[in-house]
Structure 1
Amino acid sequence: RKCLFSVPGNPVSGMVTFDLITLPVLRYTSGHSLASKLLLIQARTREPIKLDPTRPEYHRAVLQWEDSEI
């Protein structure tokens, strides 16, 4: 039995797809925990972000410190 993973050609889309789908499957099949290893932080945006309420979305961002906040 073999798994085949196909990721998008866009580098950022490929990285997100790998982190969300491929890596958890590889971790599970090799006996590791399914717990996410991604770093989660809270930050404020300068402009509102419009999200599609019907599906998850992922947006790129550049973080910088201002007044002791991210």
Structure 2
Amino acid sequence: MKDDLIKAARKIVTDPYILVNVVSRRVKQLRHGSKPLVESLEKLNLEDVALREIIEGKISYELSPGENTY
């Protein structure tokens, strides 16, 4: 994963545990055939695609009621 993408995504999803979960769930979706929601001229790995999607506001997350945060 690219450090600059991680830093930019951390500005949007400030809790690192939630960021890891959002990225890992999106990577799983991409591996199972979901189309990327961002275009890139460079070849990105799936984790970087997920980070770019977060940065560009293409995906978001929602905590379930009563779900604990760290």
With the length of structure 2 as denominator, give the TM-score of the two structures. Answer: 0.28
Q: State which structure, 1 or 2, has the greater radius of gyration over its C-alpha atoms.
A: 1
Structure 1-normalised TM-score? 0.28
Structure showing greater relative contact order (alpha-carbon pairs closer than 8 Å, 6 or more residues apart): 2
